[in-house]
A and B are shown apart, each in its own frame.
Chain A
Amino acid sequence: MENTVVKIENLVKRYGELVALDHFSLEIKEGEIFGLLGPNGSGKTTTINCLLSLLSFDKGNIEIFGKKMTPVSYDIKKDIGIIMQNVVVSDELTVRENIDYFCGLYIKDKDERRKCVDDAIKFVGLEDFVKFYPKKLSGGLLRRLNIACGIAHKPKLIILDEPTVAVDPQSRNRILEGIQELNRNGATIIYTSHYMEEVEQICTRIAIMDKGRKIAEGTKDELKRMIKNTETITIEALGLEDGVVAEMRSLPHVYEVRYDGKLLIILCSGGKHNLIRALDVLQKRELGFGRVYTELPTLNEVFLEITGKALRDKEE
């Protein structure tokens, strides 16, 4: 389990003036579902493209399966499955023909290939659509076809670049479960996304990137331990006086309190019973309040604390 599958060292990639990857390093072990999390434009796709030798880079070193990766490393490429960010299929081929085409780029033997294609169709659940042309598929089904094309040849390393963009929740869950199943069957997974919930849900280890740099790395618990925030308490309460807010601020473990006249947000760092203490303050003064809830930190808080900005814009 401890074999290194992918090793990226000090990767630098420039597009003219723009530094897309800035001394980026990464090590991925066999059997991991490795999440590459970062906002749009942070360099995830560029990393993948460099990893696959599709792009040349200015500096750095890339090894896959312990061997140096080059554009002609066909012995490495045969064990990699790639699901690109944009759906790459041929509109002129049916679902089945598409999977067969991409599988055929790796597997020459016809019988073996037929079996692989059947497996892939079953795996993504497109049995009822084998004769369909891609134009007739919904966004979610199209994504699943894209995945089937990438995994049909049973690769050891599977790279998925934002496979759930523009996908309905049902297809999304199916895709995420599928990825976990592939992993259980022995494949190492690299998964890029700007949806932190997904990454949190399935990834065993996560690297967060921003502006071409890796800003944090670890399991999701490790990442959350890196930051001050351990609990965020939200209380609906109208027209609180400044004194109340000030008292909240002086409670132990509380390091920040925000209030906009309706919602009281209390950020805590460590400690237990933070919620009880906060509600005590209100009860003591016989102040009413509406809904109350507390949240453990998400990767968004991690990202927010390290970069000072939200992982993604509100409207997304």
Chain B
Amino acid sequence: MQVFKLFMKVLKKNIFTSMIYIIVFIAISIPMAKSASTEKTFKDTSLKIVVFDEDGTDASRALAGFIGKKHKLKTLENDKDTIMQALYFQSVDYVLTINEGYGEKLLSDDTSALFSTYHMHDSYATVMVSQLLDTYVSAVRAYSAGGAELTDACEMASDAVLQQAEVTIARSKGSENFSESTAAHFRYLSYILVSVIINALCPVLLKLNKKEFRFRTNCSCIKPTSYTVQLFTGSAVFIGALWLALMVVSVVQNGGMFSGIAWYAVLNTFIYTIICTAISLLICSFDPSDNVVNLLTQIIGLGSSFLCGVFIPQSMLGSGVLAAAKFLPAYWYVKVVEMLSGAEVFDGSKLAVYLLIEAGFAAALLMMSLVVNRIRYTSAAIKLPTLRKEAQQ
């Protein structure tokens, strides 16, 4: 218990800057809860879609009419810059051009290049509209293959697909349990977790694992394993308490207890908390100075947050950035949050994969810190003090 108590005392003295992170976080996150409720449902059921009809046949008009039944049709100048700007500021969600020859192609077997589209890639809107168009086109072709006139086929398809679309949206209804502001809260939470844990845990572990301190302790009646176990317990208690506290903040932000898919977000933060702990352990195994720890907190906290879409939605990041971000755990954390918020279609097995990838990161980081520790203890631990001595002279 002696070492555990020491751990807590040292932690208490080192937690000040971390408290600032948490206070700022609460100050930003809680007020956001108020504006939460209205936006989401609207966005789910109705998207803002621009249709440019370059075909101009009955079939294409029927399609535009079909889309208009389900979503809000918007008009826009058919100009690439204008379109991009509108998409960026989310004044429209999807821009569809019905290519010339659409009507004819529907009757023939050729379904290539029916449409050209502009959209934010991978957004929930994209997937939903593309799916809708696909089903619609197959339905029209199925009905006309069954002998119906093209106009009738279009009408029948429209009715059938609209019913089905209802179902699609009903299925992703879970995201009502997870508003856009909750999503923002959880994204920001990852930045808080990584910063606070590295900032608070590293100095404590470094101090209590300093060679001289361990030597001095090894002279006493405390077994080295007991020492390590007590440090581990201390870390676990701290991490657990931090996580619980942040979850309480999240419940407040959420405006009530979590329900439905929101529990996945809780699981997600839990796994991410373990990842952050593993990162801290890895950092500590290199025995860096306090300044280096501060620097690493900034680099890892801010860097991975910007790369992985914590501050900016992933849909707005370049594909190059996203490709690189895949090698960072924060990317997968954010991906889970995005899926829960409906920016990506909800898919349980995909979600499980994301969570497993995160768990994999945690395991890999822990392994790495073990290996580094082992190497340093057996070889460098003997050489390092002399190197330092030489450096002083």
A complexed with B: yes
Using C-beta atoms within 8 Å of the partner chain, give the interface range for chain B.
Answer: 20 to 34
Inter-chain contact count A-B, CB under 8 Å? 61
Task: Given the known inter-chain contacts A15-B382, A15-B386, A106-B221, please indicate yes or no for A93 contacting B6, CB distance below 8 A.
Answer: yes
- The verdict on B367 contacting chain A, using a C-beta distance below 8 Å, is no
Are B9 and A82 closer than 8 Å at their CB atoms?
no
User: Interface stretch among A72-80, A291-299, A304-312?
Assistant: A72-80
B349 contacts A by Cβ under 8 Å: no
Q: What mask results when residues 195 to 232 of chain B are scored 1 for a CB within 8 Å of chain A, else 0?
A: 00000000000010000110111111111000000000
Contact B13 A92 (CB under 8 A): yes
**Using Cβ atoms and an 8 Å threshold, which residues of chain A touch B216?**
82, 84, 88, 102
**In the assembled complex, A86 has its CB within 8 A of some CB on chain B:** yes
- Looking at B6, B14, B207, B386, which has the most chain A CB atoms within 10 Å of its CB? B6
A82 neighbours in B (Cβ, 8 Å): 216, 219
| B382 engages A54 (CB within 8 Å) | no
Q: A90 at interface (Cβ–Cβ under 8 A)?
A: yes
How far does the alpha carbon of A101 sit from the alpha carbon of B222 in the complex, in Å?
A: 12
In the complex, the answer to whether B219 meets A52 with C-beta atoms within 8 Å is: yes
Q: Does B10 contact A (CB under 8 A)?
A: yes
Q: Which residues of B have CB within 8 Å of A88?
A: 212-213, 215-216
Contacts of A80 in B (CB 8 A): 219
A interface majority secondary structure = loop
CA distance A86 to B392 in the complex (A): 15
User: With the chains together, A232 CA to B217 CA distance in Å?
Assistant: 47
Separation of A92 and B207 alpha carbons in the complex (Å) = 10
Interface size class of A (residues with CB under 8 A): 20 to 34
Say yes or no: is A252 at the interface (Cβ < 8 Å to chain B).
Answer: no
Name the residue among B217, B220, B382, B383 with the largest chain A CB count within 10 angstroms.
Answer: B220
Q: Does A276 contact B (CB under 8 A)?
A: no
> What residues on B are CB-neighbors of A72 within 8 Å?
223
C-alpha spacing A63/B265, complex, angstroms: 59
Confirm or deny: B2 has a beta carbon within 8 angstroms of a beta carbon on chain A. Answer: yes
CB within 8 Å for A71 and B218 given contacts A88-B213, A105-B2: yes
* Contact in complex: A90, B220 (CB < 8 Å): no
B215 lies within 8 A of A84 (CB): yes
- A93–B208 Cα distance when bound, in Å, is 12
Q: What separation, in Å, do the CA atoms of A108 and B371 have in the docked complex?
A: 35
CB 8 Å contact bits of B160-200 with A (1 = contact, 0 = none): 00000000000000000000000000000000000000000
Q: How far is the CB of B19 from chain A (nearest CB, A)?
A: 16
Q: Which residue of B lies closest to A98 (CB)?
A: B6
Task: Give chain B interface residues in 230-258, CB to chain A under 8 Å.
Answer: none
CB atoms of A105 and B382 under 8 A apart: no
* Chain A minimum-CB-distance residue to B222: A105
Contact call A92/B10, Cβ cutoff below 8 A: yes
Q: Which residues of B lie under 8 Å from residue A91 when comparing CB positions?
A: 13, 207
Whether the pair A86, B212 counts as a contact (CB closer than 8 A) is yes
Known: A84-B212, A86-B212, A90-B207. A97 touches B219 (CB 8 A): no
* A54 and B218 contact, Cβ closer than 8 Å, known pairs A84-B212, A86-B212: yes
Q: Does A183 contact B (CB under 8 A)?
A: no
A230 within 8 A of B: no
Q: Which residues of chain B are within 8 angstroms of A93 by Cβ–Cβ distance? A: 6, 9-10
CA distance A52 to B383 in the complex (A): 20
Alpha-carbon separation in the docked complex, A78 to B219 (Å): 9
A residues 48-90 touching B (CB-CB < 8 Å): 49, 52-54, 71-72, 74, 77-78, 80, 82, 84, 86, 88, 90
Chain A nearest CB: distance from B211 CB in Å?
A: 10
Assess A77 versus B6: contact at CB under 8 Å? Given A84-B212, A86-B212, A88-B213. Answer: no
Known A15-B382, A15-B386, A84-B212; contact A90-B219, beta-carbon cutoff 8 A: no
Residue in chain A with minimal CB distance to B203: A92
Contact across chains for B221 and A78 when beta carbons are under 8 A apart = yes
Cβ-defined contact, A102 with B220, below 8 A: yes
